[in-house]
Amino acid sequence: MSYLDNIRWNQDGLIPAIAQDVESGVVLMVAWMNAEALTLTINENRAVYWSRSRQALWRKGESSGHVQLLSELRLDCDNDVILMKVEQVGEIACHTGRQSCFYRVFKEGQWQTVDKVLKDPKDIY
């Protein structure tokens, strides 16, 4: 039995993967993995995801340089969510140029942006 057999993949053969900064604990992003992406992540010791829009694998940071180096990999109690503790190279995980994709907070009945842009995305991609 392979470690892949322990995972409850969704109907598309995917599992959500949460990337969390290993030092600060900040949740950086959520993306999807298929079996190949998870295997490559383990083998390469860096985050590899499955792009649902492009229907292709993508290595985090392949165009931006903002690589996620794997420190620890966890599977939740229902076997249907991956948590990756990563070292985020270059501090930026979000394509908007922010540290985290979770940069908006619900306050006073609306979503408010609370985290600053660290680098203009035009200068990254």
For residues 59 and 41, give the distance between their C-alpha atoms in angstroms, rounded to a whole number: 9
How far is residue 54 from each of residues 4, 48, 81, 120, 125, measured CA to CA in Å? 23, 14, 22, 24, 17
- Cβ contact 96:117 at 8 Å: yes
23-44 pLDDT, tens digit each: 999 999 999 999 999 999 999 9
User: What torsion do the CA atoms of 56, 32, 68, 2 make, to the nearest 10 degrees?
Assistant: -90
pLDDT at 1: 79
Fill in the DSSP letter of residue 112. E
pTM confidence score: 0.93
Question: Which CATH topology does 3-123 take?
Answer: Ubiquitin-like (UB roll) (3.10.20)
- Cβ contact 82:72 at 8 Å: no
Q: What value does the mean pLDDT take over residues 89-111? A: 96
7-21 pLDDT, tens digit each: 999 999 999 999 999
| Burial degree of 77 (CB within 10 A; 0-12, 13-18, 19+) | exposed
For residues 46 and 68, give the distance between their C-alpha atoms in angstroms, rounded to a whole number: 6
Q: Which residue has the higher pLDDT, 99 or 124?
A: 99
| Number of residues that make up the chain | 125
| Burial degree of 74 (CB within 10 A; 0-12, 13-18, 19+) | exposed
